[in-house]
Structure 1
Amino acid sequence: MSQIDLLVKNGRIIDPTNGVDTVADIAVNDGIILSIDNNIQFQAKETFDAGGCLVTPGLIDCHVHCYQYSTPLGINPDEHCLSRGVTTIVDGGSAGASTFQGLRRYIADRSKTRVLAFLHIAQHGLAAAGCASGAPGGELDSLNVVTVDDCAKCILENRDMIVGVKVRLSDSIADNGKNEAEAYRQTISVIEIIFTINYFVYRRALLAAKKADVPIMVHHTMSTVKTQVDNDDPTELGCPRDLRPGDLYTHTFHPYRSCIVDPDTLTIYSDVIEAKKRGVLYDVGHGQGSFGWTVAEICARTQFYPDTISTDLHSGNHIGPAYDLPIVMSKFLHLGMPLVDVIRAVTSTPAKAIGWGSRIGCLTPGKEADITVLKLKEGRFPMEDCQSQVRVLDKIFKPVAVWRAGNSHPITEPTPFPNLEAMSQNSREWDNILVKDKARPVVK
């Protein structure tokens, strides 16, 4: 071979899948990783000097909302994800069985970013419901739209793109909580029929996931489904207690009702800890309201860190407080999560969780060349949570370069950053959260 397409030189390569943490070069040709070694001597059409930087597998954000224009939450994945070093995103339930083909045709097929999806248990997904539109009510107000067979059929017919089932457990979007448990059950298991008649949407989502042999992602905030179940009643559902190994519990560090931290004792509930031991995966899902510094710090004291780091990026938070995936990663580095574990939480773990571990999230020769270069920038960076409580970080991840299947894409930065207007708006939520700092945040 006389000349290759790309040579990334001198970077610190961190690839948790292959146990690699070393300074080396990466050779790429025809969109495929050719080799990783020291001082590679190939002539290349493009050479990138990554000296002083981290070189990682293309970042994976396993919870975003990218059904742009068809849902109020949708953002453009190339503008807000790929340009920040994220080569693969997983849409978090924007589409249901009745609306999925639009997500494929108008978003996934037209994006340079690899777009995968969790399918919402509700047939219409998040077309306009609850926090997605500002209108009262939500997508689970009627169980008529929660159909296990249609959900499972859509998944099985689109396994190249759909990786699991999504359900939102919040009483305000499920007929004041009446339909939550049934949706939860039907999401967990799409194969066996559970005949208990006392619960609603959660049940159906569990059923759908089991029938299609995929994981579920559960949004659990301000819910009638308990975080901690303190009795032996087998008919009472709990979340995360009734999740299976491999299922994802998102919005892990939110400070509202249904928080994983007991607001009285400020300790993590035992059902949460037991679920983690059992193999339930805890996802960040930062969002506009679902990350609180106080909750995250309580968890960090016992090294209860997330398995996957995601943004829940959407139209309401890409200008703050989430901004992008490297910023959310920076928050967990600040909390004491080891650097390699932070990288693992946006590469190998989400890849494995969605069943793509053999294809993405690694820098294995012979695999598609999804590569991200990050710089750890040092300084003093005031960083808000979703209710505008602030911590000062001494370093943040800055994306420097990204290649998707060997093709380079330009890097952008969030503007404005920090966004004081968004901070002022989000600080209004202070009175509604349960686990928080002693002093109300002051936005300057």
Structure 2
Amino acid sequence: MSQIDLLVKNGRIIDPTNGVDTVADIAVNDGIILSIDNNIQFQAKETFDAGGCLVTPGLIDCHVHCYQYSTPLGINPDEHCLSRGVTTIVDGGSAGASTFQGLRRYIADRSKTRVLAFLHIAQHGLAAAGCASGAPGGELDSLNVVTVDDCAKCILENRDMIVGVKVRLSDSIADNGKNEAEAYRRALLAAKKADVPIMVHHTMSTVKTQVDNDDPTELGCPRDLRPGDLYTHTFHPYRSCIVDPDTLTIYSDVIEAKKRGVLYDVGHGQGSFGWTVAEICARTQFYPDTISTDLHSGNHIGPAYDLPIVMSKFLHLGMPLVDVIRAVTSTPAKAIGWGSRIGCLTPGKEADITVLKLKEGRFPMEDCQSQVRVLDKIFKPVAVWRAGNSHLITEPTPFPNLEAMSQNSREWDNILVKDKARPVVK
């Protein structure tokens, strides 16, 4: 072979799947990784010098909402994910069995970003999520649309794209909590029937985080999750928080679930990441298994911004660099059953590659309640290739976004685990 398509040179390659952390070059041809070595002799049509940068597998964001125009939350995956170094996203339940084909045809098939999905247990997904202008109610107000067989059937017929089941446990979207436990039970059954993991959103819920009894009929979250299931919005500070607001320690059910293989996902979102909760967890090295944004129309201008920003927050919290990279590459890939295809830099695999620079300085960064910490370094994406094709990197919204912060600080009185002083947004 006289010439290859792409040569990425001189970068520090971090590939947790293959146990690689070294400076080397990557050769790519026809969209496939050809070789990784520190003495590649091929001539390349495109050469990128990644000196001083981190070269990682294409980033995976396992919780995004991209069903644009069909749900109140949808964002464009190429504009907000691929342009920030994310090559694969997993939509977090925007579509249900009745609306899934629209997500495939009009979003996934038309996007350069690889789009996978968790299927919502409610047939209409988040089309009626009650997220527009703070409208009350949501997708679980009627159990008539929460059907185990339809959900499992849709998953089994679309396993090339659907990776699991999604359910949101919040009383405000489930007839004031009346339907939560039953919807949860049905979602667990659908996941078992389709033999896939479940991702559970658990905030301000009637389903308890800590269940201090032996009643087999009372469901707990995370107590009743199985190994490999994902608990998202792990670091939110409201009712149903994983931290006991009285003792400021992590509930024992949460710790036991992690020990048996339940995966904890960030799902930063617009209201689901609190610095105080995350700092309490970090003191005992209770870090997330997967780092995700829950990116949607209400938070891409802050406080979530993009995946590299959310990664930066956990680096600031003391999570080791390699573990941060693992949480956006190999772990989410394995969690969704795609570990043999994505999340790695393996010769013979599709060339999804991200180049990141660790930028040093002083970066004030807000959480979802307008509490601020000053980071001394952030991840800045500088290049990305999806299946060997390069894509333009864009700049995020300037942070911190004071306008978004002023709106988020209104939730202060509802926060259970928080700083002693209310943040002042100037």
The bucket for the TM-score relative to the shorter chain is: over 0.9
Paired residues of 1:166 and 1:217 also in contact (CA < 8 A): yes
The 3-state SS of whatever aligns with 1:133 is: helix
Q: Which residue of 2 aligns with 1:199?
A: none
Q: Distance in 2 between matches of 1:377 and 1:314?
A: 26
Deviates more, 1:334-343 or 1:229-238: 229-238
Identity of matched residues, %: 100
- Alignment of 1:250 with 2:235, yes or no, is no
Q: Distance in 2 between matches of 1:207 and 1:273?
A: 24
Give the alignment's Cα RMSD to 1 decimal. Answer: 0.7
Paired residues of 2:72 and 2:131 also in contact (CA < 8 A): no
Q: Distance in 2 between matches of 1:60 and 1:144?
A: 34
Paired residues of 1:78 and 1:113 also in contact (CA < 8 A): yes
Paired residues of 1:71 and 1:132 also in contact (CA < 8 A): no
Q: Distance in 2 between matches of 1:325 and 1:349?
A: 15
> 1:417, CA displacement in angstroms?
2.6
The 3-state SS of whatever aligns with 2:107 is: helix
> 1:418, CA displacement in angstroms?
2.3
- Alignment of 1:226 with 2:208, yes or no, is yes
Deviates more, 1:3-12 or 1:171-180: 171-180
Paired residues of 2:113 and 2:386 also in contact (CA < 8 A): yes
Paired residues of 1:61 and 1:90 also in contact (CA < 8 A): yes
Q: Distance in 1 between matches of 2:357 and 2:130?
A: 38
Change (3 A) 1:132 1:221: farther
The 3-state SS of whatever aligns with 1:130 is: coil
Paired residues of 1:72 and 1:133 also in contact (CA < 8 A): no
Gaps of 5+ in 1: 184-201
Tell me the alpha carbon deviations over residues 295-331 of structure 1, each in whole angstroms, 9 at most, x when there is no partner. Answer: 0000000000000000000000000000000000000
> 1:427, CA displacement in angstroms?
1.0
Paired residues of 1:130 and 1:172 also in contact (CA < 8 A): no
Tell me the alpha carbon deviations over residues 278-309 of structure 1, each in whole angstroms, 9 at most, x when there is no partner. Answer: 00000000000000000000000000000000
- Alignment of 1:395 with 2:377, yes or no, is yes
Of 363, 366, 379, which aligns to 2:361?
A: 379
> 1:128, CA displacement in angstroms?
2.1
Of 315, 324, 329, which aligns to 1:333?
A: 315
Q: Distance in 2 between matches of 1:280 and 1:415?
A: 34
Paired residues of 2:200 and 2:232 also in contact (CA < 8 A): yes
Q: Distance in 2 between matches of 1:63 and 1:175?
A: 25
Paired residues of 2:364 and 2:399 also in contact (CA < 8 A): no
Q: Distance in 2 between matches of 1:72 and 1:129?
A: 7
Tell me the alpha carbon deviations over residues 153-186 of structure 1, each in whole angstroms, 9 at most, x when there is no partner. Answer: 0000000000000000001111111111111xxx
Q: TM-score, normalised by structure 2?
A: 0.99
Deviates more, 1:410-419 or 1:352-361: 410-419
Q: Distance in 2 between matches of 1:304 and 1:249?
A: 14
Paired residues of 1:82 and 1:113 also in contact (CA < 8 A): yes
The 3-state SS of whatever aligns with 2:250 is: coil
Q: Distance in 2 between matches of 1:411 and 1:317?
A: 19
Tell me the alpha carbon deviations over residues 126-176 of structure 1, each in whole angstroms, 9 at most, x when there is no partner. Answer: 002223563211100110000100000000000000000000000111111
Q: TM-score, normalised by structure 1?
A: 0.95
Tell me the alpha carbon deviations over residues 44-100 of structure 1, each in whole angstroms, 9 at most, x when there is no partner. Answer: 000000000000000000000000001110000000000000000000000000000
Tell me the alpha carbon deviations over residues 331-367 of structure 1, each in whole angstroms, 9 at most, x when there is no partner. Answer: 0000000000000000000000000000000000000
Gaps of 5+ in 2: none
Change (3 A) 1:167 1:235: same
The 3-state SS of whatever aligns with 1:34 is: strand
Paired residues of 1:148 and 1:204 also in contact (CA < 8 A): yes
Q: Distance in 1 between matches of 2:133 and 2:56?
A: 37
Q: Distance in 1 between matches of 2:177 and 2:397?
A: 38
> 1:236, CA displacement in angstroms?
0.9
- Alignment of 1:86 with 2:86, yes or no, is yes
Q: Distance in 1 between matches of 2:101 and 2:132?
A: 20
Q: Distance in 2 between matches of 1:277 and 1:292?
A: 23
The 3-state SS of whatever aligns with 2:312 is: helix
Paired residues of 2:60 and 2:329 also in contact (CA < 8 A): yes
Paired residues of 1:3 and 1:42 also in contact (CA < 8 A): yes
Q: Distance in 2 between matches of 1:151 and 1:13?
A: 40
> 1:261, CA displacement in angstroms?
0.1
Extract structure 1 runs of 4+ deviating beyond 3 A: none
Paired residues of 2:302 and 2:397 also in contact (CA < 8 A): no
> 1:420, CA displacement in angstroms?
1.0
Paired residues of 2:365 and 2:399 also in contact (CA < 8 A): no
Q: Which residue of 2 aligns with 1:268?
A: 250
The 3-state SS of whatever aligns with 2:315 is: helix
Tell me the alpha carbon deviations over residues 235-262 of structure 1, each in whole angstroms, 9 at most, x when there is no partner. Answer: 1110000000000000000000000000
Q: Distance in 1 between matches of 2:144 and 2:287?
A: 38
Q: Distance in 1 between matches of 2:406 and 2:217?
A: 43
Q: Distance in 1 between matches of 2:192 and 2:23?
A: 43
Change (3 A) 1:133 1:67: farther
